[in-house]
Chain A
Amino acid sequence: MNAELTETLKQKFLLLDGGMGTMLQNSGLAAGGVPEMLNFTEPEKIIAIHRAYVQAGAQVIYTNTFGANRLKMASTHHSVRQIIQAAIANAKKAEPEYIALDIGPIGQLLEPSGTLKFEEAYSIFQEQIEAGKDADMIIFETMTDLREVRAGVLAAKEHSDKPIFVTMSMEENGRTFTGCEIPAMALTLEGLGVDAIGVNCSLGPEELVPIVKQLCEWTTLPVIVKPNAGLPDPLTNAYDFDAEKFAKCSEIFAEMGAVIFGGCCGTTPEHIQALSKMLSGRKPVQRKITIPAAVCSANKTVILNQPRIIGERINPTGKKRFKQALMEKDRNYILQQAIQQIEAGADILDVNVGLPEIDETEMMKDTVQSLQSITDTPLQLDSTKPEALEAGLRVYNGKPIVNSVNGEEESLNLILPLVKKYGAAVVGLTLDKNGIPKTAEGRVNIAERILEKALSFGIRREDVYIDCLTLTASAEQEGVMQTLNALHEVKTKLGLKTVLGVSNISFGLPNRELVNRNFLAMALSFGLDLPIINPNVESMTAAVRTYKLLANIDRNAVEFISHYGGEPKENISPEKQEISLSAAISSGLKTEAGNLTKLLLQTKEPMQIVNQELIPALDEAGVKFEQGKIFLPQLISSASAAQSAFEEIKNYLCEHNTEAVNKGMIILATVKGDIHDIGKNIVKILLENYGYQVIDLGKDVAFEEVVNATEKYHAPLVGLSALMTTTLPSMEKTIQLLRKNCPWCKTVVGGAVLTADYARQIGADFYAKDAKETVDIAKRIFNN
Chain B
Amino acid sequence: MTISELLQKSITPKYCWKYFLKNELEDILLGEDIQNHLAQCEAVCLFCATLGQQADELIRRAQVKDISEGFTADTLASNFIEEFCDKAEKEIISHFPGKYFTWRFSPGYGDMPLSVQGKFLSKLNAEKRIGVHVHESGLLIPLKSVTAVIGISEKPLPVKKKGCAICQLAESCTYRKKGEHCN
Binding site for B on A (CB under 8 A): 105, 107-109, 112-115, 142, 144, 169, 171, 173, 176-179, 201-202, 234-235, 237, 332, 335-336, 339, 373-376, 588, 590, 632-633, 636-637, 639-640, 643, 673-676, 678, 681-682, 685, 724-727, 730, 752-755
Residues in B82-97 with C-beta less than 8 Å from chain A:
95
B63 touching A375, Cβ below 8 Å = no
* 10 A-B pairs whose Cβ atoms sit less than 8 Å apart in the complex: A107-B133, A108-B133, A108-B135, A113-B141, A235-B19, A588-B68, A673-B139, A675-B135, A682-B67, A726-B114
Q: Give CA–CA (A633, B73) in the complex, Å.
A: 12
Nearest chain A CB to B11's CB is how many angstroms away?
Answer: 10
Task: Indicate whether B161 reaches chain A with its CB closer than 8 angstroms.
Answer: no
Please judge, given known A-B contacts A107-B133, A113-B53, A636-B67, whether A755 and B171 are in contact too, CB under 8 Å. yes
Please judge, given known A-B contacts A114-B141, A725-B114, whether A633 and B68 are in contact too, CB under 8 Å. yes
- Chain B positions within 8 Å of A632 at CB level: 71
Nearest chain B CB to A563's CB is how many angstroms away?
Answer: 14
- Chain A positions within 8 Å of B12 at CB level: 171, 173
- Chain A positions within 8 Å of B19 at CB level: 235
- Chain A positions within 8 Å of B26 at CB level: none
Residues in B27-68 with C-beta less than 8 Å from chain A:
52-54, 56-57, 59-61, 63-68
- Chain B positions within 8 Å of A678 at CB level: 59, 63, 70-71, 74
Task: Indicate whether B130 reaches chain A with its CB closer than 8 angstroms.
Answer: yes
B141 touching A675, Cβ below 8 Å = yes
A681 touching B70, Cβ below 8 Å = yes
Task: Indicate whether B128 reaches chain A with its CB closer than 8 angstroms.
Answer: yes
Task: Indicate whether B127 reaches chain A with its CB closer than 8 angstroms.
Answer: yes
Q: How many interface residues does B have (CB within 8 Å)?
A: 45
A753 touching B114, Cβ below 8 Å = no
- Chain A positions within 8 Å of B155 at CB level: none
* Minimum CB distance partner of A641 in chain B: B68
Question: Which of B70, B95, B136, B171 contacts A235, CB < 8 Å?
Answer: B95
- Chain B positions within 8 Å of A336 at CB level: 64-65
Question: Which of B63, B67, B172 contacts A753, CB < 8 Å?
Answer: B172
- Chain A positions within 8 Å of B60 at CB level: 112, 373-374
Q: Give CA–CA (A633, B60) in the complex, Å.
A: 17
Please judge, given known A-B contacts A144-B131, A234-B95, A237-B18, whether A643 and B67 are in contact too, CB under 8 Å. yes
Task: Indicate whether B142 reaches chain A with its CB closer than 8 angstroms.
Answer: yes
Please judge, given known A-B contacts A113-B53, A177-B130, A682-B67, whether A726 and B137 are in contact too, CB under 8 Å. yes
Q: Give CA–CA (A571, B60) in the complex, Å.
A: 29
B136 touching A673, Cβ below 8 Å = yes
Q: Give CA–CA (A232, B17) in the complex, Å.
A: 12
> What are the 5 tightest A-B residue pairs by CB atom distance, in nearest-first order?
A177-B131, A673-B137, A374-B61, A640-B68, A636-B68
* Minimum CB distance partner of B63 in chain A: A681
Nearest chain B CB to A672's CB is how many angstroms away?
Answer: 8
Q: Give CA–CA (A376, B58) in the complex, Å.
A: 11
* Minimum CB distance partner of A676 in chain B: B143
Q: Give CA–CA (A692, B139) in the complex, Å.
A: 32
Query: Which of B72, B115, B131, B169 neighbours the largest number of chain A CB atoms within 10 Å of its CB?
Result: B131
- Chain B positions within 8 Å of A726 at CB level: 114-115, 137-139
Task: Indicate whether B79 reaches chain A with its CB closer than 8 angstroms.
Answer: no
- Chain A positions within 8 Å of B69 at CB level: 640
Task: Indicate whether B168 reaches chain A with its CB closer than 8 angstroms.
Answer: yes
Please judge, given known A-B contacts A113-B56, A173-B12, A727-B137, whether A675 and B172 are in contact too, CB under 8 Å. no
Known pairs A636-B67, A673-B137 / 7 extra A-B pairs, C-beta < 8 Å:
A176-B131, A375-B61, A632-B71, A682-B71, A685-B67, A752-B169, A755-B172
A752 touching B172, Cβ below 8 Å = yes
- Chain B positions within 8 Å of A752 at CB level: 169, 172
- Chain A positions within 8 Å of B95 at CB level: 234-235
A109 touching B133, Cβ below 8 Å = yes
Q: Give CA–CA (A505, B135) in the complex, Å.
A: 53
Query: Which of A142, A632, A726, A727 neighbours the largest number of chain B CB atoms within 10 Å of its CB?
Result: A726
Q: Give CA–CA (A173, B17) in the complex, Å.
A: 21
Question: Which of A115, A144, A339, A727 contacts B61, CB < 8 Å?
Answer: A339
- Chain A positions within 8 Å of B138 at CB level: 724, 726
Question: Which of B53, B59, B169 contacts A177, CB < 8 Å?
Answer: B53
Nearest chain A CB to B142's CB is how many angstroms away?
Answer: 7
B68 touching A637, Cβ below 8 Å = yes
* Minimum CB distance partner of B75 in chain A: A633
Nearest chain A CB to B91's CB is how many angstroms away?
Answer: 9
* Minimum CB distance partner of A179 in chain B: B54
- Chain A positions within 8 Å of B63 at CB level: 678, 681
* Minimum CB distance partner of B17 in chain A: A234
Question: Which of B128, B131, B135 contacts A673, CB < 8 Å?
Answer: B135
Q: Give CA–CA (A415, B74) in the complex, Å.
A: 42
Q: Give CA–CA (A590, B138) in the complex, Å.
A: 38
A109 touching B143, Cβ below 8 Å = no
Q: Give CA–CA (A326, B69) in the complex, Å.
A: 25
B64 touching A335, Cβ below 8 Å = yes
Residues in B118-175 with C-beta less than 8 Å from chain A:
127-128, 130-131, 133, 135-139, 141-143, 168-169, 171-172
B61 touching A109, Cβ below 8 Å = no
Nearest chain A CB to B45's CB is how many angstroms away?
Answer: 10
Q: Give CA–CA (A566, B65) in the complex, Å.
A: 25
* Minimum CB distance partner of B137 in chain A: A673
Nearest chain A CB to B57's CB is how many angstroms away?
Answer: 7
- Chain A positions within 8 Å of B136 at CB level: 673
- Chain A positions within 8 Å of B139 at CB level: 673-676, 724, 726-727
- Chain B positions within 8 Å of A588 at CB level: 68
Q: Give CA–CA (A755, B137) in the complex, Å.
A: 20
A107 touching B127, Cβ below 8 Å = yes
* Minimum CB distance partner of A729 in chain B: B137
Q: Give CA–CA (A678, B14) in the complex, Å.
A: 24
Q: Give CA–CA (A637, B72) in the complex, Å.
A: 10
Nearest chain B CB to A213's CB is how many angstroms away?
Answer: 21
* Minimum CB distance partner of A201 in chain B: B128
- Chain A positions within 8 Å of B67 at CB level: 636, 639-640, 643, 681-682, 685
Q: Give CA–CA (A373, B61) in the complex, Å.
A: 8
- Chain B positions within 8 Å of A727 at CB level: 137, 139
Q: Give CA–CA (A510, B24) in the complex, Å.
A: 79
* Minimum CB distance partner of A771 in chain B: B67
- Chain B positions within 8 Å of A685 at CB level: 67
Q: Give CA–CA (A336, B67) in the complex, Å.
A: 12
Nearest chain B CB to A767's CB is how many angstroms away?
Answer: 10
Please judge, given known A-B contacts A675-B141, A681-B67, whether A114 and B128 are in contact too, CB under 8 Å. no
* Minimum CB distance partner of A232 in chain B: B129
Question: Which of A114, A640, A753 contacts B133, CB < 8 Å?
Answer: A114
B61 touching A753, Cβ below 8 Å = no
- Chain B positions within 8 Å of A113 at CB level: 53, 56-57, 141-142
- Chain B positions within 8 Å of A201 at CB level: 128
- Chain B positions within 8 Å of A332 at CB level: 64
B66 touching A640, Cβ below 8 Å = yes
- Chain B positions within 8 Å of A109 at CB level: 133, 141
Nearest chain A CB to B112's CB is how many angstroms away?
Answer: 12
